Amino acid sequence: MDLLHVESIASRSRGHGWEIRPHRHGTLCQVLLVRRGRLQTKLDGQTQHLRGPAAVTVPSLAAHGFSFSDDVDGWVFTLVESRLQALLVRDPAMAESFLRLRAAALPARAPDTTEVLAAADALRAEMG
């Protein structure tokens, strides 16, 4: 795997009935960005219901699963965790924010949310 793999949530989950059963990745971490739609997270046995915009960070070895509404719009960014750690070695706070298991709603009209979603759109477009 290259440093980064990007795919739409719909492309990954549609074929599984909009549900990704709980599982773990040995060396990969993931960031999910949901622009709109509903999701239910199952993170290390804890369930949370969110509506986009929302973000989920999943470090390697963390048990995670998801259920999505069929109108979900968002992306899954998958990275090799050791390579991400190497890139962020000079910014421990940033590394911690990417490598901590959590799910959170994002303020819909906040400039930071708009910027993050625009950057995700641009990255996805660039990667094809």
Domain span at residue 82? 4-122
Q: C-alpha angle 47/8/80, rounded to 5°?
A: 75
First CA to last CA distance, the chain: 16
Summarised one tens digit per residue, pLDDT across range 73-107 is 999 999 999 888 888 888 888 888 888 999 999 99
CATH of the domain at 46: 2.60.120.10
| Model confidence, pTM | 0.90
Within-domain flag for 127:
no
**How far apart, in Å, are the Cα atoms of 2 and each of 12, 61, 79, 81, 93?**
18, 19, 8, 12, 24
Domain count, the chain: 1
Per-residue pLDDT tens listing for the chain (128 residues):
577 889 999 998 999 999 999 999 999 999 999 999 999 999 999 999 999 999 999 999 999 999 999 999 999 999 999 888 888 888 888 888 888 999 999 999 899 999 999 988 888 888 76
State what percent of residues in the chain have pLDDT above 90. Answer: 66
Within-domain flag for 52:
yes
Within-domain flag for 97:
yes
